[in-house]
Each structure stands twice: as C-alpha cells, then as structure tokens.
Amino acid sequence: MNNFEAAWLRYEKTKESESVAKLSGIVCDKKLQGNQIVQSAIRELQEGFRGLFGRELAVAESCCENRSIILSVDPLCPAESLQTAEVSPKTEPIGNSQTKKESRKESYRLSMQNGNVHITGSDANGLLYGTFSFLRKLTLQEDIQNLQEEKAPVMPLRMLNHWDNMDGSIERGYSGDSFFFVKNEVVVDERTRMYARLAASVGINAVVINNVNVKEMATYMITEKYFGKLDDMAEIFGEYGIKFYMSLNYAAPVELGELDTADPLDENVSNWWHEKMHEVFSRIQNLGGFLIKADSEGRPGPFTYGRTHADGANMLADAVAPYGGKIIWRCFVYNCKQDWRDLKTDRARSGYDNFIHLDGQFAENVILQVKNGPMDFQVREPVHPLFGGMTKTNEMLEVQIAQEYTGQQRHVCYLIPMFKEILKFKTYVNQDADTVCDIVSGKTFGQTNCGMAAVANTGNDENWTGHDLAAANFYGFGRLSFEPDLSAEEIAKEWIAMTFGQDEKVMQVLSKILMNSWPAYENYNAPLGIGWMVNPSYHYGPNVDGYEYDRWGTYHRADHLGIGVDRSHHGTGYATLYHEENAAIYDDPAKCPDELLLFFHHMPYTHVLRSGKTIIQHIYDTHFKGVEMVDEMVEDFLTLEDKLDAKRFNRMKERFFHQKEHAREWRDQINSYFYRKTGIPDEKGREIF
C-alpha cells in the first residue's frame, strides 16, 4: 500500500461515452515507443483507462481496423497562431533570436479523425502534455466527438523550487517532511514517480529538489557520495519531461575544503567549477542547471570578494554552458542586519538597487529569478520593479505556493487570483507586450530563457499538501504557467472536478471557498499592503510588533497618529523606481490604490481612503469582515459532509475549525492593537479588547 494519495490523478470510475468506448488501443510507431517520455504517456493512458473505464488498452505499432488513440510527433504540429508572437519591433531581442523556431517546443494538438483520437506533440513533452489534456477531458466527461485542441505552453520554464533539506526537513514546509531526502540520504521510490506524474500532468518542466539555503551536507550534493541516487531521481524526472535542477552553494570550492577562495574572477576558482561541472553533468544525465541564492540572508556570494552578481553568475554560467546548462540566480538580496532606527535604508529597494546597474551584463544562460514583490511573499505587495526595469536580462518570476505568510496550509488561501494580478500588471516598459506575463514568457524581449517558478508546497503527508485545498495551488501554478489566460476560477473548477468529482454542490461550495479565500485572508491579515505583522521566524499567527524592532527591514512604523512606510520621493524613493506611469500613481497618496497605501505612504489613521472610509475604520471593518467570510466558508463546507469521503472531509474540517479560531485571533489582536494605539473607537461599536 502506498502512503500517498493520487491527488488529481485519481482516475475514478466514470461513464464511458460512445466515442470513447470504441477506442480499443494505442497506436504508436516503434521508434517513438523507444522514447521514455512517450512510454510515460502510454502508461498514463493505460492507467487512466483502467481507472476511469475499468479496461485495458493494448499498444500497437500501426493502425488496424479498430479505432485507436494515435500518438505521434510532428515538429510542425502547432498552428501558426500558437507560436509566440514575433519579437516586439520596439525592443531589442535578448540573445540570439531563435524565438520562432523555439516557440514550437512542447506543444500539442488533439483531434478526432474517423473515430480515431490523434495526440500529436511537437516533441515528446508536447505529446505527454497532450496526453494529460486528453485524460483530463475524459475525467471531466467532456464530449470528445469533435475533439480539437491545440496548445503551446506560454512560459518556457515552468518550475518548482523545493526548499527541502538533506536531513529531511523542509524550510517553510507545511505538509510533512521531504520525500526527496531522509537523514542525509537521497530517496528514490514510487513516490518520486508519482510526484513526477503530478508535476508533468500540469505542465511542470523543471524542478529544483533542494533548498536554496545550501548548508552542511547539501554542499556535498555535487560530489561522488550522491551522484548515483541523484542520477536515478533525475532519470525518473526525465521520463516525465522534467529537467532536474539543484541549488548550489556558491562557496562550495571553499566549503568542500578544496580552495581557500570562491572569488569569481580568480582563475583557480573558475577552473575548479569547470572541472566540477564536467564531472556533475557527466554523472547526472538529465541535469538542467542550478539555482543560486548568493549574498542573501547569510549565504555566501561574490560580494565577499568585492565582485558583482554578474561576475558570480557569469563565471558559473560559463562552466555549465558546454552542457546546455542554465544558471538561475536569485535577486532576493538585501541587508538583513538593518537597524530599525535607520529610516533611510529600505529593504524594498534592495533587489532593484543591487541588480539594475547590471542589466545587460549577464550571460545568455543566466536567468535572474525575481520574487513577485520587493519584500517577501506577503499577502499583498506591489509587483517587483525589476520587472520592466531590466530590458536586457533574462528574468523569471518567483512566487510561493508554500503558504509561508498566507496561512501555512492550515488556512485555505487559493493564490492563483493573486498570481493572475501579478502577471497582468502593466510595467510600461514599452508600448505593447509589457505586462509581467509578457516579460517572463519571452514575448517582450524575445528570449526563451525565462518563465515562472514556485516555491513548492508539497511534503510527505499522505495528501501531499497538508490542507487538501492547498493542492489547488500546486495544480493551479502549473496550469497557469502553461496557460496564463485561464481564469483563476476555471482552474479552481477544473482542479475540484479532477480531485472530488463532478457533483454540482461540491463544485459550487468548494469553488466559492477557494475564490473567497485570498480576499478573506487579506481582510484579517496586516492592513493595506503593510505586511509583516506575524510572529518572528516561524511567521505564523498575528504579532503586530513582531518584526517592528528587529533587523530584517520589515517595519510598519505605527505610532498613535499614523502608520505606513514613506516610500514616496519624500521618503525612501522606492515608488519612483517604476516607469513613470506607475511611479506617478504609487508616489501620490491620492492616486495610490487603497490596498497598497500603507506600503507606499505613512498616513494618519483619519485619512479617508478612496473607498470613503478612514484607515482606522477600514482596519476594523475588514477584520470583522474577514472573520465573517471564514465563518461562512466553514458553514458552507460543513454542508458537504455527505458529499465527500469521510477521510478527506474530516481532514479538511479539522483545518477549517482551526482557521475559524485563528482568524479571530488575527482580528482581535490587530483591532485591539490599533484601538489602543489610536483611542479611536469603532463606528459600529463592535467588541474590541
């Protein structure tokens, strides 16, 4: 018996339509059958038919009388319309401009011809994604009689970043321990394959298996001790079209005791990495490259040697280039030893200030990975100004589906609506094709080394994600990065149907809960974009001053008259880092959107928001409202008792009851704090302590 569930790949028994019932087997030519990814597609079809319809599909090399599912690869398969738009004429393409050719990668076409289902991929990955799409349609009981679908993934890289440590713990892990590592050993088992299936089924094509904080034994992942097992794991990923990545310790040459410097401009260092990469890439076949956190939160980096991040990244990029490797370099670089009395230093500026002057200096196989906002995955932040700030550098968007600051997978918080807002944000870097989505999909500047990464939310819990509803974020992240035009609600509904079946009531209740969950969480959390009112270090639960007198650059600056950080041109100037159109809005409290007002400005509690409410009344109202929303969610959820299996119902019920209590704790602590600070009572006379 496996100790894991099948999440959205349950393939539970369902009705077979007439056209599906006629499909008796799979046809796939011999050469293609030799491809491991195609073998995965075949196995998946067989597994799907076994579960959904209780029957076996045989595999043949050529067509016979019977109707079949015909698998093929045709590099020209996607229609012209599916290719990435031409490079915008107003902007210079980054690197070589092979956009048109490259953009066909990983695409698929589904069609029904003479009763046969054709699944055609532009390559093996495309074929696998087409297979999963077809199986999704069968699971959702869609009519396939006129099957016709063509899709090309919008983001070239669709990546998960695991923060798993070699000792088996997971940094910011809320669903058990690692299934990649136990007690400093690499684990490869049936769960590895199930994970790869889940990831590939939503279009993930790259996975970083270990924490960006590479310490102790993790530094040894690039040594003989681990190559065998890592290669085994990478091979399984490869069978599902997923490139294998690892996080790297920038100071590995020193920490492995082989050199006394990691200076990127030292020839010995460069030679060491060249030799090391030769060794690693020859031992781990399906290796895509490395993710690096340097000069950040105590991790080593080029600053130690007076060098820039371009020096550091390019030195590594050169070493991996012969193997087609990529270096993904994080921009989460800031001073984490700030004095809270220092009003000038602004953590929000730091990513921008550390990187903007390096624009154009990075090698073609370097991608800068930028968090969605300038701080750190708060419930509400503005979009990071490096998007649209840089015009000559490959960029990738980093989001976090591990809900570090959004309820830690004990509260439900469906994050896809937030990610949609981020992707749609207009940067004004040029006249058209200037949204974050355009930039990280390669549309704006014509590059292919770009995409989206999410800090993963899985662990060895039976259901993978702790809260059953947190799996919607895993599913949703993959689907969104493949197809950003899907609405958050469409994705939610698809996930619900795949996971819980097609019952109308279940669909209506769970989709309403998911769609209300981020707004509810934002309501009872820190107000108006200010963030951070959490217990230090583990980041769970309210603590308004938890980070106020600390070293992390995370302040709300509340006194008895007002609250917020002045990031306007009078203050830290952060608001001016955006292109003029956005800067003009953020810099002016009268134009700044309410939900970000305290992020950008220090305002009196009596200031009237665009909503017509004062800030203090807004704080009270939203906190009462947030709890009401949770109460409604819980009430609605309880009506599903006879619709869901007891195991999953009880698991969720326990978390919902906790959320109900905990949302009250948030409400009461925040409201009481501000009532005590300001002495201004709630207009509606509700209970505040």
Contacts with ligand GCV by CB under 6 A lie at: 163, 171-172, 211-213, 293, 297, 332, 376, 404
DSSP three-state, residue 668: helix
Which residue reads 């200096």 in tokens?
361
Q: Which of 320, 162, 328, 124 is nearest to 238 (CA)?
A: 124
Token readout for 170 is 């997971």
* Least separation in angstroms between CB 315 and ligand GCV: 21
The alpha carbon dihedral of 259, 261, 267, 272 has a sign of positive
Distances (CA, A) of 187 to 8, 193, 222: 23, 11, 16
- Please, are residues 149 and 109 in contact by the beta-carbon 8 Å criterion? yes
Q: At its nearest, how many Å lie between ligand GCV and the CB of residue 556?
A: 18
Structure-token pair, residue 134: 């077809």
Is the CB of 151 or the CB of 172 nearer to ligand GCV? 172
* Shortest distance in whole angstroms from residue 484 CB to ligand GCV: 23
Minimum separation from the CB atom of position 304 to ligand GCV (A): 18
How many CA within 13 A on the CB side of residue 363?
20
Three-class secondary structure of residue 23 per DSSP: strand
In angstroms, rounded to a whole number, what is the distance separating the alpha carbons of residues 247 and 546?
30
CA dist., res. 605 & res. 559, Å (int)? 10
Nearest residue (CB) to ligand GCV, 44 versus 398: 398
Q: Which is nearer to ligand GCV, 293 or 556 (CB)?
A: 293
CA–CA–CA angle 374, 380, 382 (5° rounding): 40
Query: Catalytic: which of 44, 164, 231, 376?
Result: 376
Tell me the C-alpha distance between 84 and 625, whole Å.
43
Choosing from 239, 318, 404, 621, the catalytic residue is 404
In the complex, least distance from residue 537 CB atom to ligand GCV, rounded to whole angstroms: 8
The residue among 521 and 674 lying less far from ligand GCV, judged by its C-beta, is: 521
Q: Which of 315, 214, 216 is nearest to 263 (CA)?
A: 315
What phi and psi, each to the nearest 5 degrees, are found at residue 319? Answer: -70, -30
Smallest gap from Cβ 653 to ligand GCV, in A, equals: 29
Using only C-alpha atoms, what is the Rg of the chain?
25
Q: Which of the residues 297, 580, 581, 654 is marked catalytic?
A: 297
Say if CB 85 and CB 53 are below 8 A apart.
no
DSSP per position, 425-482: -B--SSSSS-BHHHHHHTTTT--SS-EEEEE----SSTTSSSSGGGHHHHHHHHHHHH
* SS3 call for 9: coil
Nearer Cβ to ligand GCV, position 172 or 667?
172
Kindly state the smallest distance separating residue 684's Cβ from ligand GCV, in Å: 36
Q: How far is the CB of 142 from ligand GCV (least distance, A)?
A: 39
Q: Which CB sits closer to ligand GCV, 332 or 521? A: 332
Residue 390, classified by CB atoms within 10 Å of its CB into exposed (0-12), middle (13-18) or buried (19+), is buried
Angstrom distance (rounded) from CA 656 to CA 658: 5
Nearest distance from C-beta of residue 448 to ligand GCV, angstroms: 25
In angstroms, the CA 128 to CA 125 distance is 5
Q: Closer to ligand GCV at the Cβ: 347 or 601?
A: 347
In degrees and rounded to multiples of 5, residue 313 shows phi and psi of -65, -40
Residue type, 254: V
- With respect to ligand GCV, which residue has the nearer C-beta, 4 or 303? 303
**Partner residues linked to 185 by β-bridges:** 182
Q: Considering beta carbons, is residue 211 or 435 the nearer one to ligand GCV?
A: 211
CA angle 327, 329, 334 (to 5 degrees): 165
Longest dimension (CA), the chain: 83
**Considering the complex, what minimum distance in angstroms separates the CB of residue 39 from ligand GCV?**
35
What does DSSP say about strands 181-182 and 185-186: parallel, antiparallel, or unpaired?
A: antiparallel
Closest to ligand GCV by CB, 172 or 349? 172
* Nearest CB to ligand GCV, comparing residues 351 and 478: 351
376 is catalytic: yes
Give the DSSP per-residue string, 553-599. S------SSEE----STTTT-GGGGS-HHHHHHHH-TTTS-GGGHHH
CB 552 → ligand GCV: shortest distance, Å? 8
Catalytic residue numbers read: 297, 376, 404
